[in-house]
Amino acid sequence: MPARILVVDASPEMRVLIAEVLAADGHEVECVAHGAAALVLLEQQSTFDLILGDLTIPAIEGAHLYWEIGRRWPELASRLICVTDGHDAGAIDHATLRAASVPFLVKPFEPADLRDVVTRTLTRSVP
């Protein structure tokens, strides 16, 4: 099922990679480089089905971005996927993400892993 997905990642290469994989699966993908841009875009058009973002993005730390999205757009709270590089000390550790049932990917990841977490997250948030 095609979805509208917002990708938040500071790395242009990562944004392109994620967008290409998801677009090849029929999803509509919009990308921004940092958390502040994500919040502005969400204020303008909060019609995303899923948000996938790096925890170490600039302007607004990823953990704060996820908290802010949950506060302002609670309907998106179950459709957030965290991306970490495995070295995100001080942000949120993987055990915390697992305990909170927050879907996440650890960089580097395979396209199949990305597809899997996106499909699982979209499926679990269907009313």
pLDDT for the residue 86: 62
Q: How far is it, in rounded angstroms, from Cα 15 to Cα 61?
A: 17
pLDDT digits over 43-88, tens only?
A: 998 789 999 988 776 556 666 787 888 899 888 888 888 777 765 4
Q: What are the tokens at 49? A: 């089905």
pTM: 0.85
pLDDT digits over 97-111, tens only?
A: 554 566 878 888 999
Q: How far is CA 65 from CA 1, 15, 21, 95, 116, in A?
A: 26, 17, 24, 19, 23
Q: How many domains does the chain have?
A: 1
Locate tokens 């919040």: which residue? 39
Q: What is the CATH number of the domain that holds 30?
A: 3.40.50.2300
Domain enclosing residue 64, as ranges: 4-124
